[in-house]
Amino acid sequence: MTRLICLSSGKGGVGKTTVAANLGSALNEFGMETVLIDANLTNPSLGFHLGIPLYPETLHDVLKGDVDIKDATYLHNSGLKVVPAGLSVDDLKNTSPESLPDVLLDLVGGPDFVLIDSAAGLGNEALHAIESSDELLVVANPDLPSVTDALKTANIAEQAGTDITGVVLNRVKGSSSELESEEVESMIGYPVISSIPEDENVQDSISLKKPLLHHKPKSNTSERFRKLAADIADIDYEPKVRESKGFFSRMLSFLKK
């Protein structure tokens, strides 16, 4: 059965596209056929994250009724299947997301997972992406403005009848000024199902135009994405946590040799 999962947030820039690309890669590694949809119609960015060249057919053409969604699905060199959004000014101005629920239905029965990378906020684009999906992953950062806005996204999903799988807390630094997972859970009313650390390798992976799972496959952050994917796909997986050795512990193990 194909599961349609939307990644959305109240606030922009919290890491929806990063989580979508890496969760998709992790699901793919587990042998789950996964299609990533760039449903951020006015501000597409999945193509930038994955280095997708300009394709002849995009989600904008699909929404205009000009092509079938299967013909706008491309195989990325990471093994992911991607439906990119158009980048022309004409596309960005003149496409409406109303037909998104219908066009996504054409994928049902094919892949195991369809991940819908939505626009932030409460506008039409985000609304139709949430309405089109069976499940919602709310992406938020551990700060008050982000979590307050995420609560509004959760309310929209409740009104649309979309199940809320949980919150992915991204860019967690572990500083005392951050909201704890428990605080986020009591504010939003849904469980935090994953905490993804702040990791400078994420920015590097985006500039290299590949998912972090391909750039730093053994990193703890990549393992967090694998664990999230395993939990979503109901697969048993024990993440391998690597000790980050500081200078003094490295010196100590050197002297002990």
The residues binding ligand ADP (CB under 6 A) are: 9, 12-18, 45, 170-171, 196, 198-199, 202-203, 206
Smallest gap from Cβ 253 to ligand ADP, in A, equals 28
Residue 76 binding result from Mg ion, ligand ADP, none, given CB thresholds of 5 to 8 Å by partner type:
none
The rounded distance, in Å, linking the Cα atoms of 6 and 107 is 14
Question: Which of the listed partners (Mg ion, ligand ADP, none) does 199 bind, with a CB threshold of 5 to 8 Å by partner kind?
Answer: ligand ADP
Q: What is the CA radius of gyration of the chain?
A: 19
Instruction: Provide the 10 A C-beta neighbour count for residue 35.
Output: 24
Q: Output the smallest distance, CB 155 to Mg ion, in A.
A: 21
Residue among 80, 96, 94 at smallest CA distance from 23: 80
Q: Which does 15 bind (CB under 5 to 8 A by kind): ligand ADP, Mg ion, none?
A: ligand ADP
Residue nearest to Mg ion (CB): 17
Cβ neighbours, 10 Å, residue 118 = 30
Does position 78 bind Mg ion by CB under 5 A? Answer: no
Beta bridge partners of 81: 35, 75
- The distance of closest approach from Cβ of residue 202 to Mg ion in the complex, given in angstroms and rounded to an integer, is 13
Residues 172-191, interacting with Mg ion (CB under 5 A): none
Nearer to Mg ion, 126 or 228 (CB): 126
Site for Mg ion in 13-32 (CB under 5 A): 16-17
Angle at 216 between CA 215 and CA 220, to 5 degrees: 150
Distances (CA, A) of 63 to 51, 71, 78, 189, 229: 23, 12, 26, 34, 29
Residue 170 lies near Mg ion (rule: CB under 5 A): no
